[in-house]
Amino acid sequence: MVLHPTACFFLFWTLRLHMVTWNVATADPPNDVTSLLHLDSPKSPDLYVIGLQEVSAAPLRFLSDITFDDSWSQMFMSVLAPRKYVMVSSIRMQGLLLLFFSKLEHIAFIRDIQTMYTRTGLFGYWGNKGGVSIHLSLYGHVLCFLNCHLAAHMNYASERVDEFEYIMDSQTFDGKKAQRIVDHRLVFWFGDLNFRIQDHGMHFVRNCINSQNFKLLWSKDQLNMMKQKEQILQEFEEGPLDFPPTYKFDLNSDTYDSSSKKRKPAWTDRILWRLRPKAPPIIGQDDDESKSDVLKQLDEDEEFPLKIRQDLYTSNMEYGVSDHKPVVGVFTLELRKVYDTPLVRLQAEGDWSADIDALVIYSRLQPFSSSAWDWVGLYKVGFRSVSDYLTYTWVKDDEVAFNEEIMQVYVSKEEIPVRGGVCVLCYYSNTLQCIIGIKITDHGLFPTLVNVLEIRENDKVYF
């Protein structure tokens, strides 16, 4: 993450976002995802968003996956956790899976997390097709990530658009800022959208691919064609398709379908985005409430700008476990933070020992809706997800003292880990469905760094 001044009065922050969409065709994860996640890149992303389609959903496999994390989630967590990324949220609907990872330093500023799903298979009764989404507030900017798997086959372009519009209309979220997908400041739409290349014959398409003359195919790409007449599609941007079509390949090869069906190659796997349009003029607004909403949006756009730049849009040809190749999009988000202070400040009191109950002090830095289900968790550095705690304590049930500014809760000595390790304290808000406070230290203009607790082998904890 880079901080730089771009105006006299504003400080803009840049965050790097790495996105992956991949139809994995029920395959197990590959052994190495270094190139997929650009793990060797000198520029590490702040956020990872990974959307998968056709994750194995056989009845026995699916039952085990909803009881335990599926093999794909497990793999990504095991790879990213040692690099200090935490899985902040995930949602699965049969074969559709959406994962959101963040660097630890941003966790307390990702709030109001909500997930939704919409079935479109079998007239809306079956989840083999449809969309899953994650809604969240990132430093006060409300974002939505929508992973879709739309209807297949060449002749169903209009049905794909209908399904997309149905998903956009049917998914709603709690809160005043963004109740519908189109209300979000920034929307990413991605997945196996299943749009094909029509009119051109197989021989012409393959010649264009072999000569890397992809531009000759763009005008007959169904998504580009549908954009000409569908207003909702025109609002979404996409980088140039300067990479080979990602469907359909023979397994474990770079050879397009050699079976008797010989399906025509296509860019079925896509990543698009929509930055919310500027508010319309107040003139013509019929009621005071509409005028007020427009004024609020104008003020927000001006005071807290958000810009997006796509740095990379490509396929990754080295992976052959599926008949689709994964698509990667790398983005830079440039924004002014609406907030840069966590809601809660945490502090461990004194030395911790396995002989006595430990105390955690916390104070509210900003008002928020607390709940009897809020808790403080103790995590190892390198924890994988919110549920990956060593132990936790309920902030209401285990409260031992409080005043207007400072509250104290205890952690039972039986729950303190005996073995040594480096740990982090986190406050989890059940209302906001996220961590809203981490034991941190502020280093001026530099990104917030985690200030950890050290649990020594002699069972003492020092701060």
The residues spanned by each domain of the chain are: 2-335, 344-462
CA atoms within 13 A on the CB side of 423: 28
CA 202 from chain centre, in angstroms, equals 36
Which residue do the tokens 């911790």 mark?
352
Distance CA 194, CA 339 (A): 39
Type and span of the H or E element at 295: helix 288-303
Compute CA distances 265 → 152, 154, 205, 226, 321, whole Å.
Answer: 13, 11, 7, 19, 17
Q: Are 329 and 239 in contact (CB under 8 A)?
A: yes
pLDDT in tens, 153-199: 999 999 999 999 999 999 999 988 899 999 999 999 999 999 999 99
Domain 344-462 fold is Immunoglobulin-like (2.60.40)
Lowest mean pLDDT among 200-204, 284-288, 424-428: 284-288
Q: Judge whether residue 7 has pLDDT over 90.
A: no
Please compute the mean of the pLDDT values over residues 96-119 and round it to a whole number: 96
pLDDT band at 358 (very low <50, low <70, confident <90, very high): confident
Mean pLDDT estimate for the chain: 87
pLDDT in tens, 137-166: 999 999 999 999 999 999 999 999 999 999
Neighbours of 184 (CB within 10 A): 25
Q: Judge whether residue 377 has pLDDT over 80.
A: yes
Residues with Cβ within 8 Å of 189's Cβ and at least 6 positions away in sequence, in order, are 146, 148, 164, 236, 271, 272, 273, 274
User: Model's pTM, two decimal places?
Assistant: 0.90
Beta strands 141-149 and 186-192 are: parallel
pLDDT band at 122 (very low <50, low <70, confident <90, very high): confident
Residues with Cβ within 8 Å of 47's Cβ and at least 6 positions away in sequence, in order, are 15, 16, 17, 18, 100, 101, 102, 103, 106
Type and span of the H or E element at 161: helix 157-170
Which residue, among 109, 111, 130, 131, has the nearest Cα to 121 in the 3D structure?
A: 130
The CATH number fitting domain 2-335, selected from 3.60.10.10, 3.40.50.620, 1.10.3720.10, 3.40.50.1980: 3.60.10.10
